[in-house]
Amino acid sequence: VQAKISAAMQASLKDPEFIKKMKDLAAEIEPANRQTPEAHKAWLASETTRLGAVIKAAGQYAD
Amino acid sequence: MNKLITFTALVLASSIAHATDFPSKTISLVVPFAAGGPTDTVARSIAVPLGKALGQTVVVENKTGAGGTVAAAAVAKSAADGHTLLITHNGMATAPALYRKLAFNPQADFEMLGLTVNVPMTLLAKKAIPANTLPELITYIKANKDKIALGHAGLGAVSHLCGVMFQQAIGVDLLTVPFQGTAPAMTNLIGGQIDLLCDQRGHREALRRDHQKPDRRAARHANLVRARPERLRHDGVAWHLRTQGHA
């Protein structure tokens, strides 16, 4: 199921109407090699480490 | 040119799914932020082609609260059949640091689906600040650091993270003012109640479009935007702030 939704998502990112709307938002479509579940997982892990350090350095909590 | 920071790489995630007859009903795409914001815009734009590709209707649901964590917790607890998806951003990476008590584990409770889009960030200053370039702005901020208020779109918002990173980059600790989203923060920036705001570039583009309308309010927007087109960049080691030239 994960593979099926991811494939549908990747196809959606090629939809001309979607591309046009993202251009209006000044958003850039991620390159194909970042649209995969594996890349997403690796990205979340590295961002959690990188941005977690930034938040901790600021000493801020939301709760 | 270095890649712009991936502050708002929007991501799709769902609970762990192992159904054989997927999709068997309407799919829910949960947005953790208010309707009309950048995440919501991406969600509504992708819902139609996603539904077409899956052969089922995809309905966007806005579930706001606690910097996006209310929605993420709800999706984490939903039936793990792939019919409940979450679209979010870097907030998933900052939530474990921001919330001491988090009702879900961003890395363990979801199946990742992929990164969708990247929305670059822009730093905006109110019109009354007498600086036309980023170095001038930084000098001004350092000289007036006790008087400057930095607004953001709410704790856990990318705008908040951007503000934190900007302060760390230039070595100041400013008064920060949280708002319930980008729209009220922008209104207060234009009104002069806050001095600085970092948010998605899309909003700046929207302000530029407003400039085409011949009313005074739009002209004020345009001044604000045209004078401060700096972007925050990140090269993986240190933060760099670079003036991008006037819009």
Q: What is the pLDDT of residues B175-193, one digit of tens each?
A: 999 887 777 887 888 788 8
Q: Which of B8, B52, B164 is nearest residue A55 as measured by Cβ atoms?
A: B164
Contact residues, A window 41-60, toward B, CB-based 8 Å cutoff: 41, 43-45, 47-48, 50-58, 60
- What are B179-186's contacts with CB under 8 Å, separation 24+? B179/B151, B179/B152, B179/B153, B179/B154, B180/B34, B180/B153, B180/B154, B181/B33, B181/B34, B181/B37, B181/B153, B181/B154, B181/B157, B182/B37, B182/B38, B182/B153, B182/B157, B183/B34, B183/B36, B183/B37, B185/B151, B185/B152, B185/B153, B185/B159
Stated pTM of the model: 0.76
Pairwise pLDDT comparison (B54 vs B124), residue with the higher score = B54
Mean pLDDT (chain B, rounded):
72
Q: Which of A34, A51, A61 is nearest residue B115 as measured by Cβ atoms?
A: A34
Please indicate whether, in this complex, the C-beta atoms of A37 and B111 are within 8 angstroms of each other.
yes
What percentage of chain B exceeds 70 in pLDDT? Answer: 70
ipTM of the shown complex: 0.92
- The answer to whether A22 and B41 have CB atoms below 8 angstroms apart is no
- Residue B61 predicted with pLDDT over 80: yes
B202: chain A residues, CB-CB within 8 Å: 24-27
**B61-67 average pLDDT score:** 83
Tell which residue, B155, B50, B66, has the closest CA to residue B102.
B66
Pairwise pLDDT comparison (B151 vs B122), residue with the higher score = B151
Over the stretch B97-127, which tens digit does the pLDDT of each residue have? 888 888 888 888 888 888 888 876 677 777 7
- A50-59, B3-12, B30-39: least confidently modelled range: B3-12
Please indicate whether, in this complex, the C-beta atoms of A39 and B94 are within 8 angstroms of each other.
no
**A30-55 average pLDDT score:** 86
pLDDT for the residue numbered B56 = 92
Confidence of residue B22 (pLDDT cuts 50, 70, 90): confident
B201: chain A residues, CB-CB within 8 Å: 26
- Residue B2 predicted with pLDDT over 60: no
Q: Which of B46, B49, B94 is nearest residue A52 as measured by Cβ atoms?
A: B94
Contact residues, A window 24-43, toward B, CB-based 8 Å cutoff: 24-30, 34-41, 43
